[in-house]
Amino acid sequence: SYVLTQPPSVSVAPGKTARITCGGNNIGSKSVHWYQQKPGQAPVLVIYYDSDRPSGIPERFSGSNSGNTATLTISRVEAGDEADYYCQVWDSSSDQHAVFGGGTQLTVL
């Protein structure tokens, strides 16, 4: 089955830019979605279809996807952005089977 690889942790200072990667074989050919999960809360969709933002998500959140890597970029990071972030695609063998990356814990220094 398809495997998504994320770094376990990323640290960034407030006001700087955080980049969280999601690696997968030819992931550029798939649509990638990103979810934010704060401690004790349910996941929230922050980016869908590689780079689209749902309403209510700040413009500071952006996404890109090419080759074997998708990237979630958070500009002007705030303390409130501290959370776990998960990338997700659908398995090519079945558009009913979701695959999640292992998650990346974003720490705001």
Residues binding other proteins (CB under 8 A): 1, 31, 33, 35, 37, 41-45, 48-49, 52, 54, 84, 86, 88, 90, 94-103
**76/97 with CB nearer other proteins:** 97
Reading phi first (left if > 0) and then psi (alpha if -120 to 50, else beta), residue 64 is in beta
Residue whose pair of structure tokens reads 């590689």 in the numeric block: 50
CB 34, min distance to other proteins, A: 9
Question: Taking the complex as a whole, how short is the minimal distance between the CB of residue 45 and other proteins, in angstroms?
Answer: 5
In the bound complex, what is the minimum distance in angstroms from residue 21's beta carbon to other proteins? 16
Q: Which is nearer to other proteins, 42 or 79 (CB)?
A: 42
To other proteins, the closest distance from the beta carbon of 49 in angstroms equals 5
The Cα 24–Cα 44 span in angstroms is: 22
Q: Which residues contact 100 (CB under 8 A, 6 or more apart)?
A: 4, 86, 87, 88
Nearest to 20 by CA among 103, 88, 78, 76: 103
Q: Is 13 or 91 the residue whose CB approaches other proteins more closely?
A: 91
